[in-house]
């Protein structure tokens, strides 16, 4: 079910799911106008990494809706990763954010940087059939979507 992921420069250990597809499916989101979303097909424990956000590092994003900006956990260098939008290789790209303060309570994931890779980590137990939600950390994201 899971394996240990070790942060190289500190030795800190994290539990990580072995195979994300054993725990999720992609279907229409519960969030209005969000398109597709990711849902748990099994209960997912608290404090576990799902997998890493696959894509390519870039200086200029082609599709900013699928790009994360973050600082390296190794040298604090600014990094920008744009998602690989292939469903089978990067399901994390289809995890939505809440679109207003009322929905913020739906958040059940945070982003965590480990060895210069961006992971999503559960912040509470996610029950089967629950949509996975992360904070995109952009006040303008939904404003720009309209």
113 assigned to some structural domain: yes
CA 136/CA 70 separation, integer angstroms: 12
Asked if the model's pLDDT at residue 144 lies above 60, the reply is: no
* pLDDT per position as a tens digit, 126-138: 999 999 999 998 7
33: domain CATH number is 2.170.270.10
In this structure, the strands spanning 117-122 and 49-52 are antiparallel
Query: Can you give the pLDDT at residue 22?
Result: 92
Domain count, the chain: 1
Range of the domain at 116: 2-52+87-145
Query: pLDDT-derived band of residue 29, with 50, 70 and 90 as boundaries?
Result: very high
Query: Can you give the pLDDT at residue 142?
Result: 53
57 assigned to some structural domain: no
The helix/strand count (H/E) of the chain reads as 1, 10
Mean pLDDT to the nearest integer, 59-69: 87
65 half-sphere exposure, CB direction, 13 A CA radius:
12
Mean pLDDT to the nearest integer, 17-25: 91
13 half-sphere exposure, CB direction, 13 A CA radius:
4
CA 18/CA 96 separation, integer angstroms: 22
3-class secondary-structure state, position 71: strand
Query: Can you give the pLDDT at residue 146?
Result: 47
First to last CA, the chain: 40
CA 91/CA 101 separation, integer angstroms: 25
Query: pLDDT-derived band of residue 53, with 50, 70 and 90 as boundaries?
Result: very high
Query: Can you give the pLDDT at residue 140?
Result: 59
112 assigned to some structural domain: yes
Task: For the chain, give the mean pLDDT.
Answer: 90
Higher model confidence: residue 87 or residue 10? Answer: 10
Query: Can you give the pLDDT at residue 99?
Result: 83
CA 17/CA 5 separation, integer angstroms: 10
Could you tell me the two tokens for 14?
């994290």
């Amino acid at each position: 079910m899971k394996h240990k992921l070790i942060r190289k420069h500190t030795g800190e250990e994290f539990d990580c799911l072995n195979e994300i597809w054993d725990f999720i499916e992609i279907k229409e989101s519960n969030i209005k106008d969000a398109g597709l979303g990711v849902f748990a097909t099994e209960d997912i424990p608290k404090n576990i990494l799902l997998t890493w956000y696959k894509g390519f590092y870039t200086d200029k994003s082609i599709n900013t809706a699928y790009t994360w900006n973050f600082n390296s956990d190794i040298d604090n260098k600014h990094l920008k990763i744009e998602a690989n939008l292939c469903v089978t290789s990067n399901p994390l790209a289809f995890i939505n954010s809440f679109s207003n303060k009322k929905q913020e309570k739906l958040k059940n994931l945070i982003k965590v940087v480990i060895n210069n890779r961006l992971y999503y980590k559960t912040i509470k137990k996610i029950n089967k059939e629950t949509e996975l939600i992360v904070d995109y950390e952009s006040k303008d994201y939904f404003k720009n979507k309209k």
